[in-house]
A and B are shown apart, each in its own frame.
Chain A
Amino acid sequence: MTAVIPAATVPRRAWKNTSLGRFFRNPRSVAGAGLLLLFVLLALLAPVLTPYNPNSLQFDAFMGFSAQHPLGTTALGQDIFSQFVYGARLTLLVGSAAGLIATFLSVTFGLAAAYFGGRVDEAINTLINVFLVLPGLPLIIVAAAFIRGGGVWPVILVIGLTGWAFGARVLRSQALALRERDFIAAATVAGEGPIRIIFVEMLPNMAGLIAANFFGAALYAVLSEAGLSFIGVGDVSLVTWGTMLYWAQAKGALLQGAWWWVALPGLSIALLGTSFALLNFAVDEISNPKLGGGRLKMPRRTVSAAGPAPVAGDALLAINDLNVGYVTPTGTVRAVRDVTLEVQPGELLGLAGESGCGKSTLAFAATRLLDPPGAVLGGSVRLAEHDLLALSPEELRQVRWKEFSIVFQASMSVLNPVLKIREQVYDAMQAHGVTDKAKLDARARELFDLVGIQTSYLDAYPHQLSGGMKQRVVIAIALALEPKLIVMDEPTTALDVVVQRQILQEINDVRRRLGISIIFITHDLSLLVEMSDRVAIMYAGEVVEQAPAHQLYAHPAHPYTQQLMNSFPPMTGPRTRRSGIPGKPPPLSAEIVGCPFFERCTKRMPGVCDVKPLQTFPVAEHQTAACFLYDPTVSPALKGNAIRESQINAGQSNAGQISAGQISAGQISAGEVSREPARNAKLN
């Protein structure tokens, strides 16, 4: 009895996310499976569906439709309907048996090549190439011509033995990719044998691909059998849809007007083939997420009736109450929540937070680069005089790069691999009206000098450049039109420390010289504090603190910022043990009541932080924090308690951690923090 309970309590959501669940929600796989089931039933129920033997020649030739013979008779006096029904049996047998043989060979060769590598791989790969380019059907025809009349198995064998190469090639490359993965390496180190690694570790991970491969091979087999039978190679005394076509053609069915004798078996082959093809396509789509998706309904952005909020002061970029979500089959994940942020002209704003806190989503949404399933759910973004979220595609295209540009996180792969660097520097400028070749060339050289790459690399292809050089090229392209704003999403994380330093120094020099504003996104808080004018800290999709960099460094206000600072070593002072922040952020799919950091906060105030709707409170001049410790309406006694408790806990668990000279959460005294609300009260 008890064993039943866990199965019964598995949430419906989990089931929907399994491959099988997706299989049954994919219209293509359902259609394919339904069609296949229909044919299988037809084959199994043949004796029930028709009283006649398909080979019996007892009737008159070329009889029309009648109750006795729903599809008439053949030129030899066989019942066409019973031929059709019984023909399904052998046709399905050929498809599935030859498909299985071919798939077995594909899997064996593909996995062996990938697992053993070296000479074995080379030999198998050559064999695959040979079988791929050898024209299959003529080979089968020639081979089958020598084995004619031997029943159905020689045909199955010949088709299976010639149809495996395509699948082997696909499986080999998939297995090669899999082999690079950590868990295979771990199994190898743990001393597992090749058989075990192939069958236990690798095969289950390739199940989807193997299934897709089987359906592809079955389609090939059914079509090949039909072709072979049609030209009379193989055994034409058998009843398959292919041999039906052979006899129909040989006996001039069309000339006699018995067109259905030709139409029905052919259409059935096409439909059976379609069911295999649909299953192949659907299984491929399900196991390769890149191909799936994209069919979800996107929500429209809700724009308040009053229109976008007016820009306060002379900010260059004003993000107002921006909400961004990812639409998934199980609901919307709100990745950016009510974010309001401004960037002043010439300012370098740092945006920091843990992975998955919504930094990149914010940047992508604000620049309208977010792809489905991501969608802006509400709010406004204003850049200079443009309402970015309201621009038409063509207006947006014109504003892009001219007014703002972006340096992506994955700069290693943002350059088009088949175009020369020069073309990719030019086209950004050409798209915005610079067409004079001499001007383009001069500007490209100037930019490359600016970021420190030899101009000869203009005529190189991306794969000829190192990672650091590619990054510089991307930055050069971002500077090409001297935009007012550059968004840099972790531009240097993939580079080594020395190159990182150089590039950051250059970015800083250039932006000061040209007066460009920069939004600099990173999880490296110490780097930000050093570089930025102002820093915004994000947590669980919300901006929890904003302050000038030096202020944030000296007096982090939000408990999250304090703990974040504590997890990086200071630039100076004695070496001490660092602690991470225990726990993890709340799931963004859930509605969060109160403060999202409540669960992990050492200074939380139960009854306040987990109940009241979160608000942002001023902490000092130019500093705000989304924390109830700065809420003037919360009693100072409650705040004092929370802070005292956090210090007692810190003292118990990390006795050695807080040391003199260290600027961290622990160092801010209770008095200091409790002084802040007082200051707030004054400001208010």
Chain B
Amino acid sequence: MSYLLRKLGIFVFTLWVAATLNFILPRLVPGDPVSVMLAKYQGRLDPSAVDALKIAYGLNDLGSPISQYFTYLGNLLRGDFGRSISLFPTPVIDVVLRALPYTLGLVGITTIISFVLGSGLGLYSGWRRGRAGADAVVPAALFLSSMPYFWFGLLLLYVLAFQLKWFPLSGALDPFPGDAYSAGWWSSLARHAVLPVLTILVTSVGGWLITMRNNVISVASEDYLAFARAKGLSEGRIVNRYVLRNALLPSFTAFGMSLGFVVGGSILTEIVFSYPGLGYYLYQSVTNLDYPLMQALFFFIALAVLLANLLVDLINVILDPRIREGRA
């Protein structure tokens, strides 16, 4: 129980750090971000947008930085992230909520598939270590995980979509996909998802493979494994209940911790495929200097990763009896 409370504490604390970074970063820039933006838009900004900006930055609030900070936190808790500059006057929260399902669907599901697939291959590679096939996957995995996500996406886009025209070039849906959740809508969604999924899968699977392989090799030299073999257990049982069950624990912990990195890389894939998720809008907000949107997106990406982490911690409690008693 104390383990979960601790994890919950870290969750709240980290979320607070993310929010505070969001507050501090714009204030670290020399000069005032609003005038920087006004200069960039050269008077094309609606006066009400300027007001919205000032509100977003607390520049209308002439109080001390401390009171600005608390106003900011209060707005955050009420879900008020201000209005987007580039999509004015749409509230930022609406943009985020529209984009969220696409990112959860694409990055979330693909990351889980990638972890399962990579861990499976890593289990094979570690358990059958010394065989040509099992050892050859290591350099291959290292190469794949060293590729920039977006670059591999570009290549896929060029060959499979532009040259061969097998898949659509961009977006998540056809312009007129039919009624939502109809058969045609689903098939349109699936066709658009193939290339981004492939990109994330190919570039992230290697990392999970290496992690799992190392864990399997460590477990293979444990005394309980020699004992299991001495007992004459079948290979299937040894792999499942002794190797996998133990190697999965550190792999799973690593999964939680690498999520932030993987999700960060995956959202670049959205940019390449103009896939309308959080990453795509993050890119849009960066190029349009839409600071309120940028900050809200960062906050929500952080929130999603933190929630996933909390879930990983919960599952760890189920998997490892030692954690349940606060021993690990």
Q: Which A positions have Cβ atoms within 8 angstroms of B? A: 28, 31, 126, 129-130, 132-143, 145-147, 166, 169, 219-220, 223, 226-227, 230-233, 245, 249, 254-255, 259, 262-263, 266, 269-274, 276-278, 281, 284, 290-291, 294-295, 367, 369, 371-372, 396-402, 405-406, 408, 410, 413-419, 423, 427-428, 431-432, 461, 463-464, 474, 477
Q: Does B34 contact A (CB under 8 A)?
A: no
Q: Are B295 and A230 in contact (CB under 8 A)?
A: no
Q: Does B150 contact A (CB under 8 A)?
A: yes
Task: Enumerate chain A residues within 8 angstroms of B99, measured Cβ to Cβ.
Answer: none
Residues facing A in B273-311 (CB within 8 A) are 282-283, 286-287, 289, 294-295, 297-298, 301-302, 305-306, 309
Task: Enumerate chain A residues within 8 angstroms of B249, measured Cβ to Cβ.
Answer: 418
Q: Does B88 contact A (CB under 8 A)?
A: no
CA distance A645 to B240 in the complex (A): 63
Q: Are A142 and B294 in contact (CB under 8 A)?
A: yes
Q: Are A231 and B242 in contact (CB under 8 A)?
A: no
Task: Enumerate chain A residues within 8 angstroms of B298, measured Cβ to Cβ.
Answer: 135, 138-139, 141-142
Task: Enumerate chain A residues within 8 angstroms of B224, measured Cβ to Cβ.
Answer: 413-417
Task: Enumerate chain A residues within 8 angstroms of B155, measured Cβ to Cβ.
Answer: 262-263, 266
Q: Which of A133, A227, A259, A270 contacts B305 (CB 8 A)?
A: A133
Q: Are A463 and B162 in contact (CB under 8 A)?
A: no
Q: Which of A227, A401, A417 contacts B232 (CB 8 A)?
A: A401
Task: Enumerate chain B residues within 8 angstroms of A271, measured Cβ to Cβ.
Answer: 143, 146
* CB-CB under 8 A for A137 and B268, given A254-B162, A413-B223: yes
CA distance A493 to B8 in the complex (A): 43
Q: Are B232 and A269 in contact (CB under 8 A)?
A: no
Q: Are A139 and B21 in contact (CB under 8 A)?
A: yes
Q: Give the B interface residue count (CB, 8 A).
A: 86
With contacts A135-B298, A223-B148 known, what are 11 further pairs, Cβ within 8 A?
A135-B302, A137-B265, A139-B264, A227-B268, A232-B287, A233-B286, A266-B151, A369-B230, A371-B221, A416-B224, A474-B227
* CB-CB under 8 A for A138 and B150, given A130-B13, A294-B130, A432-B232: no
* CB-CB under 8 A for A266 and B147, given A146-B28, A397-B234, A419-B241: yes
Q: Are B264 and A138 in contact (CB under 8 A)?
A: yes
CA distance A281 to B22 in the complex (A): 36
Q: Are B226 and A294 in contact (CB under 8 A)?
A: no
Residues facing A in B237-253 (CB within 8 A) are 237, 241-242, 245-246, 249
Q: Are A274 and B264 in contact (CB under 8 A)?
A: no
Q: Which of A169, A269, A372, A396 contacts B151 (CB 8 A)?
A: A269
Q: Does B322 contact A (CB under 8 A)?
A: yes
Q: Does B39 contact A (CB under 8 A)?
A: no
Q: Are A418 and B319 in contact (CB under 8 A)?
A: yes
Q: Are A259 and B158 in contact (CB under 8 A)?
A: yes
Q: Which of B21, B152, B223, B297 contacts A410 (CB 8 A)?
A: B223
Q: Which B positions have Cβ atoms within 8 angstroms of A? A: 10, 13-14, 17-18, 21-22, 25-26, 28-29, 33, 129-130, 135, 138-139, 142-143, 145-152, 154-155, 157-158, 162, 210, 214, 217-218, 221-224, 226-234, 237, 241-242, 245-246, 249, 256-257, 259-261, 263-265, 267-268, 271, 282-283, 286-287, 289, 294-295, 297-298, 301-302, 305-306, 309, 319-322, 325, 327
From residue A218, how far is it (CB to closest CB) to chain B in Å? 11
Which B residue sits closest to A166, measured CB to CB?
A: B257
Task: Enumerate chain B residues within 8 angstroms of A281, measured Cβ to Cβ.
Answer: 138, 142, 210
CA distance A432 to B237 in the complex (A): 13
Q: Are A418 and B245 in contact (CB under 8 A)?
A: yes
Q: Are B10 and A129 in contact (CB under 8 A)?
A: yes
Task: Enumerate chain A residues within 8 angstroms of B210, measured Cβ to Cβ.
Answer: 281
Q: Which of B217, B232, B309, B320 contacts A431 (CB 8 A)?
A: B232
CA distance A221 to B185 in the complex (A): 40
CA distance A220 to B214 in the complex (A): 20
* CB-CB under 8 A for A137 and B241, given A143-B25, A290-B217: no
From residue A150, how far is it (CB to closest CB) to chain B in Å? 11
* CB-CB under 8 A for A273 and B146, given A134-B17, A416-B228: yes
From residue A355, how far is it (CB to closest CB) to chain B in Å? 18
Chain A CB within 10 A, most for which of B231, B264, B287, B298: B231
Task: Enumerate chain B residues within 8 angstroms of A136, measured Cβ to Cβ.
Answer: 260-261, 264
* CB-CB under 8 A for A145 and B151, given A130-B10, A132-B257: no
* CB-CB under 8 A for A133 and B264, given A371-B226, A431-B233: no
Q: Are A138 and B232 in contact (CB under 8 A)?
A: no
Q: Are A135 and B151 in contact (CB under 8 A)?
A: no
Q: Which of A135, A284, A396 contacts B263 (CB 8 A)?
A: A135
From residue A263, how far is it (CB to closest CB) to chain B in Å? 7
From residue B302, how far is it (CB to closest CB) to chain A in Å? 6
CA distance A274 to B130 in the complex (A): 22
Q: Are A146 and B26 in contact (CB under 8 A)?
A: yes
Task: Enumerate chain A residues within 8 angstroms of B138, measured Cβ to Cβ.
Answer: 28, 281
Q: Are A146 and B264 in contact (CB under 8 A)?
A: no
Chain B CB within 10 A, most for which of A28, A294, A405, A427: A427
From residue A239, how far is it (CB to closest CB) to chain B in Å? 17
Which A residue sits closest to B257, measured CB to CB?
A: A132
Q: Are B246 and A147 in contact (CB under 8 A)?
A: no
